């Protein structure tokens, strides 16, 4: 699976389409980057750009766009309704697939350093990339905006993380950070009454609703909003009133087990500053922001939600709670809507949630899992939901071999070319073995006699499905593994220095060409283990399928081992070769034992 990072830079230009186009052209010119969205606003005089790509490509595209913006946008002449402090005002990097938050922090720091050194723009790191707690919040960094930068830069506590402490009149300053993916998610109601949407939003969101005196109506809390008063610190969830800040903090921790007041402290509030602050009842979910509104185009009310940490508060759990809240109020959730794009991982987890709840197998092809999520969440209720356009980070099997028709693939193998060869066939054999293991598990799930084994069989199917995809990728990887050797062979060898460089490159190439089929052999052995598990736990009516799966997986192990061994004599590093040979001996022994165990299970059933 490819590594993908999202970048969502905000530029302080929302009116001049020609300027915006010149900036986005810089992004699209970088190979490996896909421009997803350009959203300008005339009133805010700001454009929000969204693009994704490999870490290195995104890093380069962000810098190029920033450089062009610094050339085209003059902040001394900028006016708009949105808070801003720079031509490139904010530039967050977001992990999507195959990258961590730490990876995005490293990207943010690298881009920030280039902006500071090459463009002489003061740069502040925020969110997960922040170097100080008080800089995590973007609003704190942007306080005072562009006009307040000369005073801020003169304050030693606001020394930029990168770049000069001098005021850049034309470009201002930039905030560069790393944050989680924000999913913009709307839940649709069968009413145009905004009060219902507001009321459910209060129940869902982290901030909850105002704590009020009085009773609860079907729509909202009545009564005067409770506020902190001198020497009175009321608890939101109950009627307790503390006489000081620390007493209230202790009460929350001991009685309610949460850190609401601690979070206030993290935001910088002090005891005296709580006087006059409104008290809130906590909502159901953390990292969820929500409001109610009515969309005339759809002729219904919506709960508009931002999921700021979808791994903690995923869309499917928020939706199910909204359905419960709606049911209590006598209304219906008709469906939901993803605004913009959504990470593959988020949709995959939602699909698996609904499949498991139905006691269906989640170990099915990923597109089937995601389609289950789309249907279960009603994501086509008010707008089209095209998986390929809406879901970013979908696994892509884009190798020249894996996408061929069966007949074309077999014809390609038969030609007078060295690739594809035995290594690719070994990977294909292993993928078929894993697929058959998944099939046995999936055909067992749902039958009454296997209900007690649901968790075991579902876990087996999920592992087999993931392994199948890994081995499909290995089909093309094996063909490409020898490329480094071929490139080394073409290196010049006229001088002793060139000959030494060529020998070193060939040694590295042969080692790589050895390690790729070794990994294939290891994956095929895992497929063999899954076939044995399927033979023992699955429906005996599919025992022959488990047996065939084991046979092809075992062939994959042996075939991949052959491809390892044929390259070993070319490697001069004897310790390396010895270590590989030891691993091969273990692999073959274990694979043979598992294959024989499956055969015994098959023969036991077939013999009656």
Burial code of 158-180, b = ≥16 C-beta within 10 A, e = fewer? bebbbbeeeebeebbbbbbbbbb
Do residues 14 and 157 both lie within one domain? yes
pLDDT at 225: 42
Structure tokens at 246: 């620390």
Structure tokens at 291: 């409001």
Do residues 122 and 229 both lie within one domain? no
Task: Indicate the residue among 333, 348, 381 that finishes a domain.
Answer: 333
Do residues 170 and 227 both lie within one domain? no
> In CATH, what number is assigned to the domain containing residue 278?
3.30.70
C-alpha of 431 from chain center: 25
93 in a structural domain:
yes
Nearest Cα to 430, choosing from 563, 565, 555?
555
> In CATH, what number is assigned to the domain containing residue 140?
3.30.990.10
**Residue 570, phi then psi, degrees to nearest 5:** -80, -10
pTM surpassing 0.85? no
pLDDT at 263: 53
Do residues 573 and 427 both lie within one domain? yes
**Three-state SS string across 168-194, please?**
CCCCECEEEEECCCCEEEEEEECCCCH
DSSP type of residue 335: E
pLDDT at 526: 98
Among residues 198, 281, 469, 478, which one is catalytic? 478
Domain count, the chain: 3
The question of whether 82 is a catalytic residue gets the answer yes
Do residues 38 and 115 both lie within one domain? yes
Do residues 541 and 514 both lie within one domain? yes
Question: Which residues of the chain fall short of a pLDDT of 70?
Answer: 1, 209-239, 245, 258-281
Q: Distance between CA atoms of 578 and 581, rounded to whole angstroms?
A: 5
Among residues 82, 256, 287, 512, which one is catalytic? 82
Do residues 34 and 171 both lie within one domain? yes
pLDDT at 276: 44
Do residues 150 and 237 both lie within one domain? no
The question of whether 316 is a catalytic residue gets the answer no
Do residues 222 and 256 both lie within one domain? yes
Do residues 67 and 106 both lie within one domain? yes
> In CATH, what number is assigned to the domain containing residue 508?
1.20.120.680
pLDDT at 242: 77
Do residues 145 and 279 both lie within one domain? no
Task: Indicate the residue among 157, 178, 199 that finishes a domain.
Answer: 178
pLDDT at 229: 57
C-alpha of 251 from chain center: 37
Task: Indicate the residue among 178, 198, 232 that finishes a domain.
Answer: 178
383 in a structural domain:
no
Do residues 160 and 277 both lie within one domain? no
Residue 596 sits in which domain range?
A: 406-606
pLDDT at 83: 87
Sequence-distant contacts of 402-409: CB under 8 A, at least 24 apart: 402/472, 402/473, 402/475, 402/476
Q: Distance between CA atoms of 218 and 225, rounded to whole angstroms?
A: 18
- Measure Cα distances from 595 to 339, 474, 533, 587 in Å: 49, 22, 12, 12
225 in a structural domain:
yes
356 in a structural domain:
no
pLDDT at 231: 63
Radius of gyration from C-alpha coordinates of the chain? 30
191 in a structural domain:
yes
């Amino acid at each position: 699976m490819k590594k993908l990072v999202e970048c969502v830079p905000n530029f302080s230009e929302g009116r001049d389409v020609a300027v915006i186009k010149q900036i986005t052209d810089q992004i699209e010119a970088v190979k490996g980057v896909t421009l997803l969205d350009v959203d300008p606003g005339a009133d805010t005089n700001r454009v929000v750009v969204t693009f994704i790509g490999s870490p290195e490509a995104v890093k380069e595209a962000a810098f190029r766009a920033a450089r062009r913006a610094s050339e085209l946008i003059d902040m001394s002449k900028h006016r708009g309704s949105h808070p801003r402090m720079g031509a490139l005002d904010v530039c967050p990097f977001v992990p999507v697939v195959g990258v961590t938050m730490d990876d995005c922090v490293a990207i943010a720091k690298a881009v920030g350093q280039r902006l500071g050194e090459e463009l002489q723009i003061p740069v502040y790191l925020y969110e997960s990339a922040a170097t100080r707690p008080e800089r995590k919040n973007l609003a704190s960094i942007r306080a005072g905006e562009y006009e307040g930068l000369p005073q801020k830069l003169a304050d030693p506590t606001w020394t930029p993380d990168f770049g000069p402490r001098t005021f850049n009149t034309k470009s201002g300053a930039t905030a560069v950070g790393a944050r989680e993916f924000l999913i913009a998610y709307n839940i649709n109601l069968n009413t145009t009454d905004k009060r219902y949407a507001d009321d459910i939003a209060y129940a869902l969101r982290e901030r909850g609703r105002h704590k009020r005196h009085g009773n609860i109506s079907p729509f909202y809390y009545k009564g005067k909003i409770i506020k902190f008063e001198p020497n009175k610190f009321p608890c939101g969830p109950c009627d307790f009133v503390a006489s000081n800040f620390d007493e209230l903090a202790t009460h929350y921790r001991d009685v309610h087990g949460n850190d609401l007041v601690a979070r206030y402290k993290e935001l910088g509030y002090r005891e005296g500053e709580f006087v006059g602050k409104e008290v809130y009842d906590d909502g159901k979910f953390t990292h969820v922001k929500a409001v109610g509104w009515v969309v005339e185009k759809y002729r219904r009310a919506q709960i508009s939600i931002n999921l700021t940490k979808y791994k903690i508060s995923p869309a499917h759990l928020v939706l199910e709670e909204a359905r419960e809240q709606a049911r209590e109020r006598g209304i219906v959730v008709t469906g939901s809507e993803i605004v913009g794009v959504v990470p593959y991982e988020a949709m995959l987890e939602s699909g698996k949630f609904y499949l498991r709840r139905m006691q269906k197998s989640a170990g099915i092809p990923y597109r089937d899992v995601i389609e289950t999520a789309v249907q279960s969440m009603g994501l086509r209720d008010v707008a089209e939901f095209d998986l390929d356009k809406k879901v970013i980070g979908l696994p892509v099997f884009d190798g020249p071999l894996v996408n061929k028709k069966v007949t074309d693939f077999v014809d390609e193998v038969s030609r007078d070319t060295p690739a594809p060869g035995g290594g690719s066939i070994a990977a294909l054999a292993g993928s078929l073995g894993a697929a058959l293991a998944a099939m046995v598990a999936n055909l067992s799930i749902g039958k009454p006699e296997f209900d007690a084994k649901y968790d075991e069989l579902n876990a087996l199917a999920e592992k087999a499905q993931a392994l199948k995809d890994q081995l499909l990728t290995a089909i093309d990887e094996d063909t490409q593994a020898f490329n480094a050797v071929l490139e080394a062979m073409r290196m010049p060898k006229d001088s002793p220095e060139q000959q030494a460089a060529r020998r070193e490159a060939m040694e590295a190439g042969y080692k790589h060409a050895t390690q790729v089929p070794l990994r294939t052999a290891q994956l095929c052995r895992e497929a063999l283990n899954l076939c044995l598990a399927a033979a023992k736990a699955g429906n005996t009516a599919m025992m022959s399928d488990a047996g065939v799966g084991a046979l092809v997986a075992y062939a994959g192990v042996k075939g991949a081992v052959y491809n390892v061994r044929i390259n070993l004599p070319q490697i001069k590093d004897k310790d390396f070769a010895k270590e590989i040979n030891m691993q091969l001996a273990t692999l073959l022994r274990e694979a043979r034992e598992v294959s024989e165990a499956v055969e015994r299970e098959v023969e036991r059933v077939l013999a009656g």
